[in-house]
Structure 1
């Protein structure tokens, strides 16, 4: 439960970074970013697998590049459900999810190094073989 909440917080902070970097992505408040993070998680969990299967021929033909379009579509779709979060324009559609991924990865690694127990990366003595 705590891990899911922290993941949503990291994604919300990453969305705020995307808002600063990518023109066309607009997030009004931190609460909207938090709700958008949950919406992105739901869309990526429920709709994205179906889109990936349906677009598999195009993804194979384009050597995987069409997956960027699928990610953008999911990003945009999540923005439809959240007031205060909007994605407009092809630059935001394509680059928003890429910057979101980089920002989330950076924040997850940063928090994992600073607070090992916070991100679920703690190790027990049994795992270390001691």
Structure 2
């Protein structure tokens, strides 16, 4: 449970930064930002693995770059479920996916995983 909360906070920071940097990504309130981080975490846990398996051939052909489109689709799906979160088109979603991914990568470097415990 604590791992999900940490991941939600990291996702929230990534989405906030994406809203600041990427044109076409925005929030109406802090509550919307928190809800978007939680919903995106749930979508990434349930829907994203299915999409990664279904799009595996395209991902192989594009040498993994298609995963940006899958991540953008997950962010767009979050925007569909949440009225206070807006993503204006595919490129805004791709930009948000890149920013959120970089923030998660940097946070993972500082936080570490299970292999660094005990």
Fold agreement, TM-score > 0.5: yes
1:97 aligned partner? 97
2:26 aligned partner? 26
RMSD over equivalenced CA pairs, Å: 2.3
Give the length in aligned residue pairs: 118
Which sections of structure 2, spanning at least 5 residues, go unmatched? none
2:53 counterpart of 1:69: no
Higher RCO (C-alpha under 8 Å, 6+ residues apart) = 2
Q: Which has the higher helix share?
A: 2
Q: 1:52 to 1:12 in 2, by over 3 A?
A: same
2:49 aligned partner? 49
Which sections of structure 1, spanning at least 5 residues, go unmatched? none
Moved over 6 A (4+): 119-122
Q: What's the CA shift for 1:6?
A: 3.0
Q: TM-score, normalised by structure 2?
A: 0.84
Q: 1:6 to 1:60 in 2, by over 3 A?
A: closer
1:9 aligned partner? 9
1:38 aligned partner? 38
Larger radius of gyration: 1
1:80 aligned partner? 80
